[in-house]
Amino acid sequence: MAKSARIYRGTPRNLALLAGRIRAGDVVGVPTETVYGLAADATSAAACRRIFSAKGRPPSDPLIVHIASLGDLARVARPNPAALRLARRFWPGPLTIVLPKTRAVPDAATAGLPSVAVRMPSHPLFRRLIRLAGVPLAAPSANPFGYVSPTTAGHVRADLGPRVRHILDGGPSRIGLESTIVDMRDPGRPAILRPGAISRGEIAAALGAPVAKSRGSRAGRRLAPGQMPRHYSPRTPVVLHAGMTRRMAAGSPADAWLFISRPRGGPPPPGAGNVFWLDARGDLRRAARRLFATLRRLDAGGFARIHVERPAGDGLAEALCDRLVRAASR
């Protein structure tokens, strides 16, 4: 009988133990400020393949490589001055930069592409683990491929145990959405590949130049994760609406109705009936932090469908909308 995953507190002894498991080629569930990741030695093709195997992830979907300091960037990528400007402005934090890779990164980590997606996370435990391991860490979200991303250590154990034996607990993810990804291979043509907590406007302001909203990729040649049409999806079908009312929810009691903010009309408190919301006042940062955990709870609630209100606007609203459109795709 396979052993269940163990969750470790972030003590110095546990961090040293987990760093040793990574150096030995194991995969470890790790906390980040965005979502929980599944980490392994990014310089080892065998270790990277273990990530793909544990998640059931197709090898055509590249991994993000995480570093602990700006000085580590040149080890895995060939940065240009514009990319360094972004790194100095937003790292450590929820920004991933796509650049030409170095030979230190195996093709198994990058889906055979000559580019690599790199991020310096701000979660202190994860950065400490990277330093102790002594290698950059490849780490996609720690969930079965295509399912709702995990934002707690318990989510990782529920999804991947016993395929993952070790999970570092760093508390609930502070942001709750995956990082913004920007393509900086050509500094004259920056483009957002995945929206996140750092907006396109913030990146454009830091560069002093316009940033394209998106750059499509040919089938099987995705530059970065999060670009598949269907992703972040609960097993319960998701239906996206430009606007919802409490009356719509009353007319469909077998379905869950998830609003961004508390709907008018005095609905029952969260968890009662079939009406739910992400934040009573509609604060998008709190809504983003709670999105994936709420989708997981509703997915386990026995509802026929999950109806979700589509946020409108730029910035974080665009990132929320991106996740929901993909979650609703069939």
HEC string of 238-284 equals EEEECCCCHHHHHCCCCCEEEECCCCCCCCCCCCCCCEEECCCCCCH
Q: Is residue 11 part of a domain?
A: yes
- What's the pLDDT score for residue 289? 97
Q: Is the pLDDT of residue 208 over 80?
A: yes
Give the residue carrying structure tokens 């961004």.
260
pLDDT level of residue 218 (50, 70, 90 thresholds): very low
Asked whether residue 227 is domain-assigned, the answer is no
Confidence (pTM): 0.94
Mean pLDDT of the chain: 93
Tens-place pLDDT, residues 88-105: 999 999 999 999 999 999
Sheet architecture: strand order including 28-30: 6-8, 166-168, 28-30, 37-41, 137-138, 64-66, 115-119, 95-100, 180-183, 191-194
Q: What is the CATH number of the domain that holds 187?
A: 3.90.870.10
One domain, residues 280 and 194: no
pLDDT of res. 219: 45
Q: How many domains does the chain have?
A: 2
Largest CA distance in the chain: 60
* Final residue before a domain boundary, out of 187, 207, 227: 207
Domain that holds residue 69: 6-207
pLDDT of residue 317: 96
In terms of phi and psi (left: phi > 0; alpha: psi -120 to 50; beta: otherwise), the region of 80 is beta
How much of the chain, in percent, has pLDDT values that exceed 70? 95
Q: Specify whether 17 is located in the same domain as 134.
A: yes
Closest to 19 measured CA to CA, from 63, 52, 68, 81: 68
> Model confidence over 43-83: pLDDT tens digits?
999 999 999 999 999 999 999 999 999 999 999 999 999 99
